[in-house]
């Protein structure tokens, strides 16, 4: 029982997440973290989709180069085990970690790397969908409606970008991912 003169410590969750992310200096950290989570889920496939609002041609009829296409959202998908109730609960707890010490997500901060690129990730898995968002400096989780026809056998993480960007430099992203897969147990590297 708490003493009557005791004041609870407040945590600015936005600043806490930003400070944790500052320890991840690499540009593509979010992809590595989500790749490791997919591997922990036993995924055999991992997809990254860059979504653009622009059609395939510019106004003068030419096809733009990849570096000029504006991207507004990333989708990261994997075909590993679908989220169960315990997974959904862990998703809402920073730093609690994975109780299975054989898994990479032992520290419980990897998923939060998505906040380096988005302020409102949406997670879809096992027929459920949640959005995680800031209200002021605190994080909240909202269960969203997901239509049965929208049910995917894959776990999908949607990240509407904080600001439009271009497709990451493909050579550097590929090199980063190739280096990352050396630590995986399930996702094939060929």
Q: For residue range 10-65, what is the model confidence (pLDDT) as tens digits?
A: 888 888 888 877 777 667 888 888 988 898 889 999 999 999 876 555 555 555 56
On whether the 13-53+67-169 domain is CATH 3.10.129.10, my answer is no
Residue with tokens 């997809």: 47
Mean pLDDT over each residue of the chain, to the nearest integer: 80
* Bridge partners (DSSP) listed for residue 40: none
Rg (CA), the chain: 18
Q: For residue 181, what pLDDT is reported?
A: 76
Report the distance separating Cα 17 and Cα 67, nearest Å: 30
Which sequence spans correspond to the domains of the chain?
13-53+67-169
Report the candidate in 145, 139, 101 with the shortest Cα–Cα distance to residue 119: 139
Whether this prediction's pTM lies above 0.95 is answered by no
């Amino acid at each position: 029982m708490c003493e009557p003169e005791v004041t609870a410590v407040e945590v600015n969750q936005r600043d806490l997440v930003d400070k944790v992310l500052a320890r991840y200096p690499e540009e593509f950290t979010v992809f590595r973290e989500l790749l490791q989570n997919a591997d922990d889920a036993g995924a055999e496939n991992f997809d990254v989709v860059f979504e653009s609002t622009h059609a395939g041609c510019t106004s003068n009829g030419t096809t733009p180069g990849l570096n000029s296409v504006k991207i507004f959202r990333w989708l990261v998908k994997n075909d590993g085990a679908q989220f169960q109730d315990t997974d959904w609960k862990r998703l809402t707890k920073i730093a609690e970690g994975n109780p299975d010490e054989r898994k990479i997500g032992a520290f419980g901060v990897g998923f939060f790397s998505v906040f380096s690129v988005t302020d409102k990730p949406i997670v879809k898995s096992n027929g459920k969908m949640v959005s995680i968002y800031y209200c002021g400096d605190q994080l909240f989780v909202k269960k969203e409606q997901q239509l049965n026809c929208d049910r995917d056998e894959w776990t999908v993480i949607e990240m509407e970008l904080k600001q439009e960007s271009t497709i990451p430099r493909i050579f550097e992203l590929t090199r980063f991912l190739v280096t990352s897969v050396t630590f995986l147990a399930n996702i094939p590297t060929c």
